[in-house]
Amino acid sequence: MADVINSLTDGVTFKAPAQMCGPKVHRLKMDIMASFKDEPKAIVIDFDEVDYIDLHGLVLFKDICDIIRVYGAQAFAYRLKAPMRDLLADLDLLSDLGSVQPESAALRSA
């Protein structure tokens, strides 16, 4: 699931599940935690196919943001669609990256 990232950052990228329900986000969380054995400088989560997140998935996603910060890496959301961008912004989980990638944003811990 993890691939070396492109030009956005020097790190690892993960594809977010299209339906971000609790069990699928938990799997994403476990994959991200496993990647820290290689000490990546950044974690990028690709939201290209995401069209839904339930409450349990949202809570786990906030945990993911916190875990990435605890490990000392930067976190980025990539290819965010407007509804998901608005939701994450409303929860104060985004920092703007405007000039780097229009559809991307840095993630903050909860």
Report if pTM > 0.75.
yes
The average pLDDT across 49-72 equals 92
Confidence band for 110, pLDDT divided at 50, 70 and 90: low
CB within 8 A of 13, min separation 6: which ones? 2, 3, 4, 5, 6, 43, 44, 45, 46, 78
**Average pLDDT over every residue of 45-56:** 92
> Is the pLDDT assigned to residue 94 strictly greater than 50?
yes
pLDDT of 86 reads: 87
* Average pLDDT of the residues in 3-9: 44
Helix or strand (DSSP H, E) at 3: strand 3-4
Name the more confident of 56 and 89: 56
Assign domain 3-107 to a CATH class.
Answer: alpha beta
